[in-house]
Amino acid sequence: MRLDKFLKVSRLIKRRTVAKEVADQGRITINGNVAKSSSAVAVGDELTIRFGNRLMTVEVNELQESTKKEDAQNMYKIISEERLEQ
């Protein structure tokens, strides 16, 4: 599954266009490697996302083409989340 689609479906980022912009700015890594919006995401991958003043690390648990709002959080597990100082 594409990175931008995973971020949207899992509701980590609300809109796919925003997910694409964040990824293409180099603010997302997959397993330590800088990722583009078209990068493939697989179960077990570790994503580090920097948006705004937050740094979030999540592990991919499952991939779904679409999901309900209640089930979206089952697609990932938050490993760490921190605020960055400006």
Using the predicted structure, report yes or no on whether residue 51 has a pLDDT greater than 70: yes
Number of domains, the chain? 1
CATH of the domain at 69: 3.10.290.10
* 46: containing domain: 3-83
Using the predicted structure, report yes or no on whether residue 84 has a pLDDT greater than 90: no
Do 74 and 64 contact (CB within 8 A), yes or no?
Answer: no
Q: How far is CA 30 from each of CA 49, 68, 85, rounded to the nearest angstrom?
A: 9, 25, 23
Using the predicted structure, report yes or no on whether residue 85 has a pLDDT greater than 80: no
> What's the pTM?
0.85
The model's pLDDT over 11-49, given as tens digits with 9 standing for 90+, comes to 998 999 999 999 999 999 999 999 999 999 999 999 999
